[in-house]
A and B are shown apart, each in its own frame.
Chain A
Amino acid sequence: MKCFRHGEICFEKVKVIPKLDKSVTKELLKGSHGNSHLFDGGEFYPEKRDDFIFGYFKAKNTILLHIDHGIGKGELKKTKLPDGNYRLRRQVEWINEQLRQVED
């Protein structure tokens, strides 16, 4: 598996994206204190499959935006995600024998 990581989100490269409804928002995940993982360019297909997988993403001229994760010193840091199809996974940790989502 080949992956990119943007904070607590993993973009896992996949060949095809299942048929799903496209999100109307530009927000992939809301991190701690309302710090959202946003994108500009591309299509997000949300689908919660399990504790980890929360959807798919078709990247096309995609820029990921986040207050902490990325390059630069602006209010929102920017990251170019290579074009392609991705399965989206979120980071989870084991706390007291239970999976708990990481929100950094």
Chain B
Amino acid sequence: MVDYSKKTQEKIDYLCKLAERKSYKLNKKKAQEELLKSYDLFDLKRPKKIKWYDHITNAFLDRASRSSRAYSASRAYSAYRASSASTDYDFDYGICTFEYLQNPGGEQPNENDKKYLKFFELMIQAKKYGVGYFCDDNDTLHIVTCPIIICNELGQYHSIEKPAISWEGEKLYYLDGVSFEKKWWNKIRKGKLSAEEVFAIDNIEPRRVAYELMDKTKMKKLKNYKVIDEKIDDKNNPMKIISFNVQNMDENLIFYNCIDPSTDREYFVQTKEQTCLKAKSASFGFDKPVKWINEW
């Protein structure tokens, strides 16, 4: 049963449509005016200068994160830091306020609620005209155009046909929420990655996604491929230790193969151990198998 208003549902549908649009025509003049109106709304002085960016650059991130210097400057934090500068980072709060103003119940909305809703509407308009992210610094309003984003049904950045995030100035490639360089994304989506290449990926999440999309018969092409231990874990999922040889290496590579109990995702964790129980415990720094009371 839907326990919120039809108008709120229409607002959610509109915002989803906006987020999922496949193209849009950038209108810089209207877009920046919507942002500037938000300064008027809060009786703030409008910034004198406006600078546009055609994708999220490090220069923009530096501006956006001046108030949060503690964060690492690594790329892993970039999306996180940028998200707080997004026009729709407050999506859920905006929707809640919208619904509250439709159906206030006991406590009546005050001027601030109404003001916040006006701000939310300005952000939606700005996004419609092409604003993705913005911040201000030194009397300058910095604006990044809105990227086109493609997600899977789980809401993860994902596309096997196009970049999952694209601006005119930059394209970012994702599969099931995991980012890849274009070269690797292309090989994975075209099924051109060998099993040896998949296991050479040194980060567990991209390795998992690349394996998931790989033709599993390729496993047999691994040199000296062997399953050296098999068990069923406490959650009734299969575990395996596999080993194989790669070119130019004297020792076999060994991987602990397991299923994550919460997501059912299949992982390969590189190990030096020969049994499932030892490999699992060793991956947490134990030298003996431990008793797992519960796992999520």
B-contacting residues of A (Cβ < 8 Å)?
A: 1-7, 10, 12, 32-34, 50-53, 64, 68-71, 77, 79, 89-96, 100, 102-104
Contacts and interface: CB of A to CB of B under 8 A. Distances in A.
Interface stretch (B51-59, B75-83, B107-115, B216-224): B75-83
A80 to B, nearest CB: 10
Contacts of A68: 260, 262-263
Interface string B274-296: 00000000011110101111111
Given A93-B271, A104-B204, A71 B296 contact: yes
Given A5-B295, A34-B77, A52-B285, A103 B205 contact: yes
Interface in B241-296: 260, 262-263, 265, 267, 269-272, 283-286, 288, 290-296
Contacts of A104: 204-205, 208, 260, 265, 267
B285 A33 contact: no
A50 B285 contact: yes
The size bracket of the interface on B is 20 to 34
Interface string B161-192: 00000000000000001110000000000000
B270 A7 contact: no
Contacts of A64: 296
Contacts of A1: 286, 288, 290-291
Nearest to A36: B80
Contact of B296 (A6, A32, A50, A100): A6
Contacts of A33: 76, 79, 177-179, 205
Contact of A2 (B77, B205, B290): B290
B283 A102 contact: yes
Given A2-B293, A90-B284, A93-B270, 4 more contacts: A3-B292, A12-B284, A68-B263, A77-B296
A70 B77 CA distance: 24
Contacts of A79: 296
